[in-house]
């Protein structure tokens, strides 16, 4: 994985000192909260309902064991002993004191980590496929480019005060595990007709109040031109985006207001000029130099021999173990969705034990997925039973990856200042409702995603079943959305109708799922059935109880 | 309003004129784009330097070729969150090749000065009491940079290539 050199180390250390000075000025009263706010946000520090929340960047979701240990240490020393992995593959701490933040940053810098641009109106932490470098179906590892983008975007002087936040993802496989089409900008590594590797760039995707799928800006950007192209898109966005209405300031609004053709033309003009100047050209040596950091570990020559075990192990293998590019190896998903747990939470003890396990089994890195799980990317197949047993002891062996209880949920009203409704208890209630594993397997792939407000941190638009918490006169209600997807078949979920009460929502989801089981054709996922028969029949079923109640007076 | 440049604090040789104010006899003047358009001939034929102050939504390209007859382009930050002027400054320097003064005016923060310097600003209208020490500190907080901009500084990538390791 990437290692800081003297320049990266100095940059991060100076950024820590810079933020320390900003905190000093805030604590002395020199800076008002209004002026401090954008500065702290640029460093991932939010003021939430109960305390400050600090979001630590995990670039493209990759962590070494010593970094995971440091995250555990921070959870223990400065927080309440746990951290929350987010849909942008970061980790956030919910109970942080402002005075501690500079020290936390200094501790993070010791293990080459930081909080730079994890919030605020700037280019955010770059994400990538959690199976990068391990999955058999990728053109090349997307992380070297993600790292190059991370460096280019770090304190980019032109783009630190954008109209709104700007999220970039990089993918390299036909199967999209990084929700590319929901990003402000995404780069997909592709081959052209002659087999050359280059980049397809899309822009204008996003969730929130006005969801859009991204549109293609360019089908093929040459490797050496990619930073010039990304800078061109950002410059057009910075110059031309609205600034008069916070709800209309994401790039998706600009692209759809001026139209994709006009957007492409404006980008092309900037692109040609940046290319002519030549300073952003990416020499092949630079790409190779960065790529060398991400060279796969030296895989042992092993036969493909997947171990078998008891029913628990087999169930786990079925959903949480995935094919690897090297014979004798596997990818393992560690579910952070134990039934009844807060999705994405991990305790300091769990993180430390995982770090030990990585070292013991020579697994050089661990990944965070946008679905709020962890992934061991390079596991010897023969080690799987022992690793599974260890995960069981840690309550990290829930065999539900991709199943209905593998729910994405934002922190919601339990923590978040913006939320209208709680997300976590709804996720917990639904997970409990469908806890039976046989039933989960029968239902198959079904992605439930829950947001506590319109900002959509829980990706509700992209859920096969999405749930959006709303506030109606001080009471929490939950709207159902059906048919969304964040994968390669991306779609925006449709709202079913009026919301359900807190105690009705799990019932409504269950009625919808049972109806799918009754109506599905052989081999159909929930999403396929929905796409075939549409909203109406699901709607009739979901509101059955309300209608019965009305009928019976 | 006090002015600071990379050379330090100095008296502002320009007056910023309201659209209905009379032109001064001798000293340089900074006017709005609207007034510049209206009084273009008179302003350019004066025997004193002239500058234009652009609002955040006004692209410097609207000045056309006249930009090269200006001594100052002042770019306005209506509120510090509005970062459009970062791109306008960059455009002035690299697309239009403007060699005069690019001045930051309006509501900007200490913490934005280093970024402004990088994209091409070289003068700042500052609040009373802001010291040269603070200014130097703001510019020196981060030693090296990752990306090229209008300041022509060597990037970390350049430094890596030339560093012995």
**Domains of chain A listed by start with CATH number:** 6-110 (3.90.480.20), 142-290 (3.30.413.10), 311-393 (3.30.70), 409-551 (3.30.413.10)
Q: Helix A251-258 vs helix A260-277: angle between axes, to the nearest 10 degrees?
A: 110
The mean per-residue pLDDT over the stretch A250-264 comes to: 98
What the block records as the tokens of B36 is 């510049």
Helix axes A6-27, A101-110, angle to 10 degrees: 170
ipTM higher than the 0.90 cut? yes
* Contact list, B57 vs chain A (CB under 8 Å): 243
Chain B residues within 8 A (CB-CB) of chain A? 56-57, 59, 80-84, 86-88, 90-91, 94-95, 109, 111-112, 114-116, 118-119, 141-149, 156-157, 159-160, 163, 165
Q: With bands split at pLDDT 50, 70 and 90, how would you rate the model's confidence at B26?
A: confident
- DSSP structural state of residue A113: -
Q: Nearest by CB to B83, which of A152, A238, A280?
A: A238
B136 interaction partners in chain A (CB closer than 8 Å): none
**What are A200's strand-pairing partners?**
A188
Q: Do A279 and B87 touch (CB under 8 A)?
A: no
Mean pLDDT of B75-94: 97
pLDDT for position B165: 53
pLDDT 10s digits, B1-15: 899 999 999 999 999
Decide if A341 touches B, using CB distance below 8 A: no
Contacts of B114 in chain A (CB under 8 A): 157
CB B29 within 8 A of CB B48: yes
Hey, where are the domains in chain B? Answer: 3-162
C-alpha angle A488-A493-A498 in degrees, rounded to nearest 5: 170
Does residue A184 contact residue A212 with C-beta atoms inside 8 Å?
Answer: no
Average pLDDT over residues A242-254: 97
Average pLDDT in the B17-30 region? Answer: 91
Asked whether the predicted pLDDT for residue A12 surpasses 90, the reply is: yes
Q: How far is B27 from chain A (nearest CA, A)?
A: 33
Confidence (pLDDT) at A390: 98
Chain A (132-151) residues lying within 8 Å, Cβ to Cβ, of chain B: 151
Q: Which of A399, A428, A433, A432 is nearest to A414 (CA)?
A: A428
pLDDT score for A417: 85
Q: Is the model's pLDDT at A553 over the cut of 70?
A: no
The pLDDT > 70 percentage for chain B reads: 99
pLDDT of residue A521: 97
pLDDT surpasses 90 at A501: yes
CB atoms within 10 A of CB A63: 26
| Domain spanning B3-162: CATH 3.40.50.2300 | no
**Average pLDDT of chain A?**
96
> Two tokens at B17?
């004129």
Per-residue model confidence as pLDDT tens digits over A117-135: 999 999 999 999 999 999 9
In A454-530, where do the E strands start and end? 465-472, 475-482, 494-495, 500-501
Which residue of chain A comes nearest to B77, CA vs CA? A161
- Confidence bin at B118 (pLDDT 50/70/90): very high
What is the per-residue pLDDT across A398-428, written as a single tens digit (0 to 9) for each?
Answer: 999 999 999 999 989 988 888 999 999 999 9
Check B83 against A159: CB less than 8 A apart: yes
CA distance B155 to A440: 53
Which residue among B86, B111, B156 places its CB closest to the CB of A7?
B156
CB atoms within 10 A of CB A503: 8
Residue A539 contacts B where some CB pair is shorter than 8 Å = no
């Amino acid at each position: 994985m990437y290692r800081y050199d003297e320049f990266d180390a100095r940059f991060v250390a100076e950024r820590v000192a810079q933020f320390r000075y900003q905190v000093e000025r805030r604590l002395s009263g020199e800076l008002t909260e209004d002026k401090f706010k954008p500065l702290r946000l640029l460093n991932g520090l939010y003021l939430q309902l109960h305390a400050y929340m600090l979001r630590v960047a995990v670039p493209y979701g990759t962590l070494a064991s010593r970094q995971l240990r440091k995250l555990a240490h921070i959870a223990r020393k400065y927080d309440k002993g746990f951290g929350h992995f987010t849909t942008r593959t970061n980790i956030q701490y919910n109970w942080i004191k402002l005075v501690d933040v500079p020290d936390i940053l200094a501790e993070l810098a010791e293990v080459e980590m930081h909080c730079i641009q994890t919030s605020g109106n700037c280019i955010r932490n770059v994400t990538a496929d959690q199976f990068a470098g391990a999955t058999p179906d990728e053109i090349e590892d997307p992380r070297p480019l993600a790292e190059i983008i991370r460096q280019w975007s770090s304190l980019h002087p032109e783009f630190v005060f954008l109209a709104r936040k700007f999220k970039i993802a990089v993918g390299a496989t036909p199967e999209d595990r990084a929700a590319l089409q929901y990003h402000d900008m995404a780069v997909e590594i592709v081959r052209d007709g002659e087999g050359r590797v280059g980049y397809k760039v899309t822009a204008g995707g996003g969730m929130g109040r006005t969801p859009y799928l991204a549109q293609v800006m360019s089908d093929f950007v040459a490797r050496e031109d990619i930073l010039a192209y990304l800078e061109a898109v950002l410059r057009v966005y910075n110059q031309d985006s609205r600034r008069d209405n916070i709800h209309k300031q994401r790039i998706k609004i600009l692209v759809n207001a001026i139209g994709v053709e006009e957007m492409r033309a404006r980008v092309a003009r900037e692109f040609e000029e940046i290319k002519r100047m030549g300073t952003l050209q990416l020499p092949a040596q630079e790409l190779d130099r960065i790529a060398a950091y991400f060279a796969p570990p030296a895989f042992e020559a092993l036969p493909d021999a997947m171990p078998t075990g008891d029913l628990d192990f087999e169930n786990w293998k079925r959903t949480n173990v995935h094919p690897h590019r090297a014979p004798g190896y596997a990818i393992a998903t560690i579910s952070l969705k134990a039934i009844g747990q807060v999705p994405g939470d991990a305790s300091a003890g769990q993180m430390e034990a995982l770090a030990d396990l990585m070292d013991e089994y020579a697994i050089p890195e661990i990944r965070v997925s946008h679905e709020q799980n962890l992934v061991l990317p390079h596991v010897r197949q023969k080690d799987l039973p022992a690793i599974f047993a260890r995960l069981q002891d840690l309550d990290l062996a829930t065999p539900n990856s991709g199943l209905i209880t593998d729910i994405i949920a934002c922190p919601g009203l339990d923590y978040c200042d913006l939320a209208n409704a709680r997300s976590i208890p709804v996720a917990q209630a639904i997970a409990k409702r469908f806890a039976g594993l046989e039933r989960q397997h029968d239902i198959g792939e079904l992605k439930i995603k829950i947001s506590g407000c319109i900002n959509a941190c829980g990706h509700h638009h992209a859920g096969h079943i999405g749930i959006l918490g709303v506030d109606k006169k001080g009471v929490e209600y939950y709207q159902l959305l059906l048919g969304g997807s964040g994968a390669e078949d991306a779609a925006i979920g449709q709202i079913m109708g009026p919301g359900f009460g807190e105690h009705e929502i799990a019932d409504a989801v269950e009625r919808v799922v049972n109806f799918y089981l009754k109506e599905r054709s052989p081999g159909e996922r929930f999403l396929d059935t929905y796409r075939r028969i549409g909203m109406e029949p699901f709607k009739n079923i979901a509101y059955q109880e309300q209608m019965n109640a009305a009928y019976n007076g | 309003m006090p002015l600071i440049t990379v050379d330090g604090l100095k008296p502002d040789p320009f007056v910023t004129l309201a659209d209905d104010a009379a032109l001064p006899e001798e000293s340089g003047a900074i006017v709005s784009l609207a007034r510049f358009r209206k009084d273009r001939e008179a302003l350019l034929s004066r025997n004193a330097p002239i500058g234009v102050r652009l609002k955040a939504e006004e692209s410097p390209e609207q000045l056309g070729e006249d930009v090269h007859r200006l001594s100052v382009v002042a770019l306005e930050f209506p509120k510090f969150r509005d970062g459009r002027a970062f791109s306008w400054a960059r455009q002035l320097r690299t697309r239009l090749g403007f060699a005069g003064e690019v001045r930051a005016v309006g509501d900007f923060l200490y913490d934005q000065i280093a970024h402004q310097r990088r994209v091409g600003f070289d003068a700042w209208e500052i609040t009373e009491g802001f010291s040269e020490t603070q200014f130097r500190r703001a510019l020196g907080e981060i030693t090296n940079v990752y990306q090229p901009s209008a300041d022509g500084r060597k990037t970390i990538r350049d430094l890596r290539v030339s560093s012995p390791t």
